[in-house]
Amino acid sequence: MNKRIDFNEVQPAAYEAMDALDQFVKESSIDKSLKEFIKIRASQINGCAYCVDAHSKDARRLGESEQRIFLVSAWREAGDIFSEEESLVLQMTEEITLIHQHGLSDGVYEKAIALFGEEKTSQLIMIIVTINAWNRIGVATHLKPAKRIFNQTKII
């Protein structure tokens, strides 16, 4: 497959608009690790390896354990690894990412409002929307994670 377009080069204004959304996400009051869990889960669902790789690394830099990062894809079966709030946000992420199935359900929405309030719930929704947009760019343009070669204990 031939190399696909680089949005930053071909459509810099569109890329800047996406960066503006990222700035909103960065400045939101949502916990940084929770933002990364949202980004990882949406990226897993959307099949964006580039974003799964990038946000897993970001979560590690924030001090998240490999166990929790690995279990994001199986959060429902992970027992008490994730808090009630984290589980709710992962469920929101799935429902919004898979919006065509039934949208954000009333029960999940009402629980989010009760736990987070309107301001934080709206921030969570925008974080989910933003990573979904990035995933679509990444998948459409075939972005790939950087290949790392492992030699026993060190990366070459």
The pair of three-digit structure tokens given for residue 2, joined into one six-digit string: 């031939």
CATH number for the domain that contains residue 128: 1.20.1290.10
- Is 79 domain-assigned? yes
| Residue 152 belongs to some domain of the structure | no
Q: pLDDT per residue over 34-63, tens digit each?
A: 999 999 999 999 999 999 999 999 999 999
Q: Which DSSP symbol is given to 4? A: P
Question: For residue 29, what are the domain limits?
Answer: 13-142
DSSP assignment of 12-60: HHHHHHHHHHHHHHHHSSS-HHHHHHHHHHHHHHHT-HHHHHHHHHHHH
Number of domains making up the chain:
1
- Dihedral angle sign, alpha carbons of residues 109, 51, 141, 15: positive
Q: CA–CA distance from 127 to each of 72, 121, 151 (Å)? A: 17, 10, 36
- Whether 65 is in a domain gets the answer yes
In this structure, what is the dihedral angle of CA atoms 46, 134, 88, 114, given to the nearest 10 degrees? -140
pLDDT at position 30? 98
Establish if 8 belongs to a structural domain: no
User: What pLDDT is recorded for position 147?
Assistant: 79
Q: Is 16 exposed, middle or buried (0-12, 13-18, 19+ CB in 10 A)?
A: exposed
The tokens for 91 are 């469920």
| 147 assigned to some structural domain | no
* pLDDT, tens digit only, all 156 positions of the chain: 678 999 889 999 999 999 999 999 999 999 999 999 999 999 999 999 999 999 999 999 999 999 999 999 999 999 999 999 999 999 999 999 999 999 999 999 999 999 999 999 999 999 999 999 999 999 999 999 987 665 545 544
pLDDT at 156: 44
